[in-house]
Amino acid sequence: MSEIYMPRLSDTMEEGVISSWAKNVGDKVASGDVLVEIETDKAVMEYEAYEDGYLVKQFVSAGDTVPIGAVIGFIGETPDAEAPEPGGAPAAPAASEPEAAPAEEKAAEPAPAPAAGEGAAGAEGPARPRTSPLARRLAKEYGLDIDAIEGSGPKGRIVRADVEAARDRAASGAPEAAAAAPAAAAPAAQAGSEDPRASEELKVSQMRKTIARRMAESKQEAPHFYLRRTIDAEPLKAFRAQINEQLADTGVKVSFNDLIVKAAATTLSAHPEVNRSWEDGRLLQHHRVNVGVAVAIDEGLVVPVLHGTDKATLSDISTRTRELAGKARDGKLKPQDMSGGTFSVSNLGMFGIDSFSAVINTPESAILAVGAMKPTPVVHEGEVAVRNTIALELSVDHRAVDGAVGAAFLKDLAEVLESPMRIIL
């Protein structure tokens, strides 16, 4: 005949407790009779029947709590009337599913504004780039030209991540990866070709400007010193072969560079005094080890950063490096992919370079330059033998790291590479 619901008896009530039933199952009920006492959030209240009949079912016992709208009992016409099982969901106010007609479709998204630095529509010179206040402050702090940074925020707003990426790129000497592909805008070469002896001024890309400024800054401000060590690469070669054999099924192939990157990270963990930066007169100790890996691309060179290199497995490093290199070549690196490095590895071995001295990617305090692996006559176990070697050269910022400290690091790194099982242990 009719269900009895948990009533809403106070304006803040959400659920109620059956304090006690005033009628037992089978009792005759008249409209106005007290059926049940309900404890709300405020008080115990009597709840009366709205109609005559018999209480045929109590679905909720005294002491139990149920939400407003839950069926708690049933009144039937006869004492033995059948009480239907209460439906699944309580008939609570349907607050959650507003059925209002949707407002008319939003107007189409406004067309994106021109990217920052591309100049305003008018002829009055370049528009001021959109920047967040934080980005502007950081750019000033890092000595960066805010106009030279491309923003990744809404409508090209330059945000912190962009500035930090620009700083890191500048420090590594890598060109502006995301700079609007200058390929299309060919240098104005045709014009001044009358005098074949005359030098020709090329259009300087923002990328080139940044490299020029940051490399000059690094060499002028960071007193570099250089440490060299040649390692016996035979064990490394064997180790690599062994690993790749094991990884054959996975499609992952670990390169020598991956091994060197991981070895550098492992050694950095043991030598935190090298994992430091000298910034604005402050010496910062980094607790994370993020190794940047130089990647050659058509426009120049970028240094994507492998965050948490010390914690990553070799296959991780291998996969992520390839991924980042791919993104770099496609111009799809995000600012955060290039920021936060604490150490860099630059490898020119593929060009057959014996060894070289790299410019430090400030504010990092060291960069490892890796030469080509080549067979070399060496003294091995007391005899002259021909073995594969690799020349390593570490450039160190003397403001943050002293000679002996750097030397100890390089010594350990060499030993790790010569007993490569230590790379992964």
Partner 1 sequence: MSVITYRQALRDTLRAEMLRDENVFVMGEEIGVFEGSYKITEGLLKEFGEKRVRDTPIAEEGFVGAAVGSAMLGLRPVVELMTINFSLIAIDQIVNHAAKVYGMFGGQTPVPMVIRTPGGGGQQLGATHSQNIELYYSFVPGLKVLAPSTPADAASMFRAAVRDDDPVLFLENLGLYNTKGEVPEGDESVAEIGRAKVTREGTDITLIGYSRMAMVAGQVAERLAEQGISVEVVDLRSLRPLDRETVVESVRKTSCAVICEDDWLTYGIGAEIAASIQEGAFDYLDAPVRRVAMAEVPMPYAKPLETAALPSVESITTAVKETLDAVGRRVG
Residue 166 C-beta: closest distance to partner 1, Å = 13
Count CB-CB contacts under 10 A for residue 113. Answer: 15
160 or 387: CB nearest partner 1: 160
Give the residue, chosen from 93, 196, 281, 382, that forms a contact with partner 1 under the rule CB under 8 A.
93
Q: CB of residue 67 vs partner 1: minimum separation in angstroms?
A: 13
Pick out residues in 120-139 that bind partner 1 (CB under 8 A).
132-137
Per CB under 8 A, 95 contacts partner 1: yes
Given 271, 286, 307, 398, the catalytic residue: 398
Residue 116 found at the interface with partner 1 (CB under 8 A): no
What residue spans of 173-250 are helical by DSSP H?
206-221, 234-246
Q: Which of 94, 202, 241, 424 binds partner 1 (CB under 8 A)?
A: 94
Find how far residue 16's CA is from the centre of its chain. 48
Q: Does 14 bind partner 1 (CB under 8 A)?
A: yes
CB of 105 to partner 1, least distance (A): 18
Q: Which residue has the tokens 């770099």?
A: 328
Q: How far is the CB of 253 from partner 1 (least distance, A)?
A: 30
Which residues are CB-neighbours of 83 under 8 A, at least 6 positions away? Answer: 56, 57, 74, 76
**Phi, psi (degrees; rounded to nearest 5) at 236:** -65, -40
Number of Cβ within a 10 Å radius of residue 192: 11
Instruction: Examine the residue annotation and report whether 286 is marked as an active-site residue of this protein.
Output: no
Which member of 69, 147, 152, 253 binds partner 1 (CB under 8 A)? 152
Give the CA count within 13 Å in the CB-facing half-sphere of 185.
9
177, 338 in Cβ contact below 8 A?
yes
Residue 154 binds partner 1, judged by CB under 8 A: yes
Assess 89 for contact with partner 1 (CB under 8 A): no
Kind and range of the H or E element at 387?
strand 383-397
- Contact between 41 and partner 1 by CB under 8 A: the answer reads yes
Cβ–Cβ under 8 Å, residues 274 and 343: yes
184 counts as binding partner 1 under rule CB under 8 A: no
Site for partner 1 in 321-350 (CB under 8 A): 334-336
**Nearest-approach distance from CB 10 to partner 1, in angstroms:** 8
Residue 19 in the binding site for partner 1 (CB under 8 A):
no
Q: What is the DSSP string of 18-84?
A: EEEESS-TT-EE-TT-EEEEEE-SS-EEEEE-SS-EEEEEESS-TT-EEETT-EEEEEESSTTPPPP
Among 82, 99, 298, 330, binds partner 1 (CB under 8 A): 99
Residues 6+ apart with CB under 8 A from 181: 299, 331
Applying CB under 8 A, among 82, 85, 88, 100 the residue interacting with partner 1 is 100
CA distance 282 to 15: 60
> From the CB of 13, what's the least distance to partner 1, in Å?
8
Please pick, from the candidates 42, 128, 380, 411, the single residue that binds partner 1 as defined by CB under 8 A: 42
CA 237, 411, 408 angle in degrees (round to 5)?
155
Among 29, 149, 159, 360, binds partner 1 (CB under 8 A): 159
Residue 112 contacts partner 1 per CB under 8 A: no
Residue number, 179 or 370, with CB nearest to partner 1? 179
Which residues are near partner 1 by CB under 8 A? 11-12, 14, 41-43, 93-100, 132-137, 152-154, 157, 159-162, 334-336
Active-site residue list: 398
